[in-house]
Amino acid sequence: MVEREYITPTNGIKIKWGRPTDLKELYRQMKIWLEDNGFAQEATLEKKYVEMIKPSGKDIFILWEAGKDVSDYFSYKIIIQFLLVAANEIEVQEGALKRKLMRGTLEVDIIAYVEYGKNWENLGALNKIYKKLIAKSRLEDYSKDLYDKVYKFQKFIKDFIGLTA
């Protein structure tokens, strides 16, 4: 049986932002961070994209699923949900440059967990022995490692959008 050890709350850590944002660049930078840290490949990252046009602007929902195997027994999983509500494109003058930004409410939820026991389900007693003797301390180590990575990712996002709190 595959089990999960959440290192974030099960509903995720949230970043909420209500100022104009270069959403395309944020999206690109987040994707690059995940790829550089071995969590994703561009072709398999995005699982869902829904866009609804409303009188108040666009509502956009994006779901990413990222992860990587760290051993035959353990793997890291990160789920990222973007929700942009009442988004409208605006032009902002920055010096001599005009930039197109999205104005609306942006919420990014990051859910992360260590998954373990995959591919070991059929080994019965060997799986139980490994789980009791070795896996517990490794799970702690992997959980700490993923925790550090996820909160660095959260800081990266906050720094990009200019959120200081």
pLDDT of 134 > 80? The answer is no
Q: What is the pLDDT of residues 61-82, one digit of tens each?
A: 999 999 999 988 889 999 999 9
User: 121: which DSSP letter?
Assistant: G
The residue type of 3 is E
pTM: 0.86
30 or 21: which carries more pLDDT confidence?
30
31 or 44: which carries more pLDDT confidence?
31
**What percentage of the chain reaches a pLDDT higher than 90?**
58
Q: Can you tell me the distance from the alpha carbon of 53 to that of 86, in angstroms, rounded to the nearest whole number?
A: 9
Domains and CATH numbers, the chain: 3-160 (3.40.198)
Closest CA to 160 of 42, 37, 44, 17: 17
